[in-house]
Amino acid sequence: MIDTRRLRTLRAVADHRTVTAAAAALHLTPSAVSQQLVALEHEVGHRLLERDGRGVRLTAVGRILLGHTNEVLAQLERAGADIAAYTAGTAGEVKVASFATAIGLVVAPAMDTLRDKEPGIQVRVLDAEGDQSLTMVLDGAVDVAVAVEYRGAPGEDDLRLFRIPLYSEPFDIVLPRDHPLAAVPDHDGEAAPAPERDAEMPPTPEHDARTAPVDTSPASTHDPRALPVDTPPTPERDTRTLPVDTPPTPERDTRTLPVDTPPTSERGTRTLSVADLSGEIWIGPYPGNPCHDVIALACEHAGFTPEFAHSSDDFSAVVALAAAGAGVAMVPRLALRGTDLSGVVIRPVPGPKRRVFAAVRRGAERHPLLIPLLHALQDAATALRQAPSM
């Protein structure tokens, strides 16, 4: 009989690529991790790891075992969730790791909802940027991650995680007021004025240019808020989806934010392309921040590599540097909320988007403490989408 604790250790080593990093994630000593791996190899009867430079990698047998490990651990999560549902009810602590903007936009509103509807659930929030939140979920440090899509992020088919799309938002170009592109005429031939604070993209009943775009792609064939069941999944019912008491309606699609069309010339915000910024000095987040990946990839597709002269993960600092004439930037639209824009001009840019999702360990989506929280996050994303203005 294989010890499941050793399987968790194997997965941690596979994720972190070194025994030392895996030990830190598991709150164990490196020698304890090594001992568990040796014991697991004896149980299996094969070598599971081999050296790879300064780290380690799985052998062929190790990769086979890891595939089964993900399924076994997910099933254990489901078993724990079912037992908790039967015995504990909805009272206890849930830990959430999220990046700063989403804490204000969806996590805090979700906590407010739970305070009224599920007072027995205590939510503890940790600020985690980049891929930290997903790593924390996989390592068991937190229960829920609110994260941004990035290159190399675990996909929807990853057996370790259960993902729930929340919203997506476009990026805007941030220019100093005296930048040549800030004075480029709009479609009506007049130069665009610099936006005033909190009024750079005023909403209309039909179109709020400061919100993010609607996802017009066809809906998936499964119900993204369907109640999970114990029966095996069928083509008509994907049991990996989030449980809910009522089916969704088109008005409650929480995956994206409006609006897909660019702001109009009446707003003085003519659309620019990423290619227009080739050769500019850039201000942006540090490498490793998912937004840095989005910006770098957009520039790569436009045929150039951005030159980052200034780096900050705080978008209010990025805007302040742009206002000081230090360079240009691309910032997620909702990150501009509440930021002083008096010294810059905002231009929409088609294409790049920041896609935000929640994630839990596969099988944990059934847990009675997590079901209300995941619904509350979706409801907060719905309210964000439906808000008349930012």
77 and 198 fall within a common domain: no
- pLDDT for residue 383 is more than 70: yes
Q: What is the CATH number of the domain that holds 265?
A: 3.40.190.10
Residue 347 has pLDDT above 70, yes or no: yes
Write down the pLDDT at residue 89.
64
Domain boundary among 84, 109, 142: 84
CA 197 from chain center: how many Å?
27
Token digits of residue 225: 């808020």
Q: Total structural domains in the chain?
A: 2
CATH of the domain at 48: 1.10.10.10
**Are 79 and 175 within one domain?**
no
In this predicted structure, the answer to whether residue 247 has a pLDDT above a threshold of 60 is no
Would you say residue 105 lies in a domain? no
Q: Does the pLDDT at position 373 exceed 70?
A: yes
Same domain, 71 and 199: no
Residue 279: half-sphere exposure toward Cβ, Cα within 13 Å: 2
CB 224 within 8 A of CB 248: yes
User: Residues 202, 314: one domain?
Assistant: yes
Domain that includes residue 35, residue range: 4-84
Cβ neighbours of 390 (radius 10 Å): 18
Residue 58, in any domain of the structure? yes
Q: Write down the pLDDT at residue 57.
A: 86
Tens of pLDDT, residues 154-179: 888 888 899 999 999 999 999 999 99
Give percent of the chain above pLDDT 90. Answer: 41
In a domain, 282, yes or no: yes
Tens of pLDDT along 216-246? 333 333 343 333 433 333 333 343 444 444 3
Angle (nearest 5°) at CA 331 between 133 and 358: 25
Burial class (CB in 10 A: 0-12, 13-18, 19+), 218: exposed
Characterize 333-349 residue by residue with b for buried, 16 or more Cβ atoms within 10 angstroms of its Cβ, and e for exposed: bbbbeebebebbbbbbb
Q: Is residue 42 part of a domain?
A: yes
What whole-number distance in Å separates Cα of residue 101 and Cα of residue 335?
6
Q: What does each C-alpha distance from 25 to 28, 361, 376 come to in angstroms?
A: 8, 16, 29
Flag whether 177 is in a domain.
yes
pTM value is 0.63
Which residue did the predictor score with more confidence, 259 or 3? 3
Instruction: Give the end of a domain, one of 84, 107, 125.
Output: 84
- Strands, E assignment, 100-252: 121-127, 144-148, 161-176
Mean pLDDT of the chain: 77
**Do 70 and 173 lie in a common domain?**
no
Q: Are residues 313 and 178 in the same domain?
A: yes
Boundary-marking domain end, from 23, 52, 84 = 84
> Mean pLDDT across the stretch 58-73?
83
95 is a domain residue: no
Provide the β-strand partners of residue 361.
161
177 and 80 in one domain? no
Say whether both 188 and 77 belong to one domain. Answer: no
Q: Is residue 367 part of a domain?
A: no
